[in-house]
């Protein structure tokens, strides 16, 4: 799938890669209201970081801050050393609820080709290379055979895989995913995980919000634990502890056979 090759991560003068996303004691606001405070950590190229916390914790807000859509009251948010709004060509976003009407008469292949509009230009018809990139993206999520099917006829999990393929077709360095595993079937869950692992191996950075701690453990190197503020940001074994989860979730966190479980989110 050479058409899906991602750009090599840019490096800074010092050792190691330039962080794909850097949160430096960021305080995020809507208007004058602080929604999320004290976020400090990085997402490196080739790394996935899970955003974990209850509903309303600020996970979607943090993802949108990496797109430049949320005001930073103090601290900074940067994407490859730039302001997020200036680096949007390097990011691709899969929202929690897509605005594409399932009843709209558009095929699976056409939805994925939408991911090429930014590179090709809105007034130019997609070319052969654009179609090859879109086809490779659909193959990566396991839906190449459905390219001519109407988008609305797919299951919810399959539609989520198509939306990921649309983001993959952008060939961005950074993928931002807001609850992509909510309500998907086991087959689609495995397909999404497989596609994301392939992208990570190619150097992409992934920031993904999820309520599923199994997904966090299966996919991500680090976790950012949130609920109005940052409770922890670091390796899984240091963040997904029973004590941290109880502090973040309150009475919704408990233990079963020594494992931390989160309920009522």
Q: How far apart are CA 79 and CA 42, in angstroms?
A: 10
pTM: 0.88
The number of domains in the chain is 1
Mean pLDDT to the nearest integer, 90-103: 84
pLDDT in tens, 162-219: 999 999 999 999 999 999 999 899 999 999 999 999 999 999 999 999 988 898 999 9
**Dihedral of the CA atoms 163, 168, 173, 176 (nearest 10)?**
10
Task: Please give the pLDDT value at position 125.
Answer: 77
CATH number at residue 114: 3.40.50.300
Task: Please give the pLDDT value at position 253.
Answer: 55
pLDDT band at 100, cuts 50/70/90?
confident
Q: How far apart are CA 88 and CA 66, in angstroms?
A: 9
Mean pLDDT to the nearest integer, 107-119: 91
Q: Is the pLDDT reported for residue 23 higher than 60?
A: yes
Q: Which domain holds residue 61?
A: 2-262
């Amino acid at each position: 799938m050479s058409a899906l090759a991602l750009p090599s991560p840019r490096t800074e003068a010092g050792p190691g890669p330039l962080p794909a996303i850097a949160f430096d004691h960021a305080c995020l606001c809507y208007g004058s209201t602080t929604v999320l405070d004290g976020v400090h950590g990085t997402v490196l190229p080739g790394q996935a970081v899970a955003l974990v916390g209850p509903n309303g914790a600020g996970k979607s807000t943090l993802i949108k801050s990496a797109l430049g859509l949320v005001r930073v009251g103090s601290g900074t948010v940067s994407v490859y050393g730039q302001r997020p709004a200036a680096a949007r060509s390097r990011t691709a976003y899969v929202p929690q609820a897509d605005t594409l009407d399932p009843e709209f008469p558009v095929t699976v292949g056409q939805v994925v080709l939408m991911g090429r509009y930014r590179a090709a230009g809105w007034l130019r018809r997609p070319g052969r290379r654009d179609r090859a990139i879109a086809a490779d993206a659909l193959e990566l999520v396991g839906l190449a055979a459905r390219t001519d099917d109407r988008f609305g006829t797919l299951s919810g999990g399959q539609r989520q895989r198509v939306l990921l393929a649309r983001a993959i077709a952008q060939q961005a360095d950074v993928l931002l995913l807001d609850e992509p595993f909510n309500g998907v079937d086991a087959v689609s869950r495995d397909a999404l995980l497989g596609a994301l692992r392939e992208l990570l191996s190619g150097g992409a950075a992934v920031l993904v919000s999820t309520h599923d701690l199994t997904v966090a453990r299966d996919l991500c190197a680090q976790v950012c634990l949130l609920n109005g503020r940052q409770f922890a940001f670091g390796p899984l074994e240091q963040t997904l502890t029973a004590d941290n989860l109880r502090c973040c979730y309150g009475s919704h966190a408990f233990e079963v056979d020594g494992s931390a479980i989160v309920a009522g989110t």
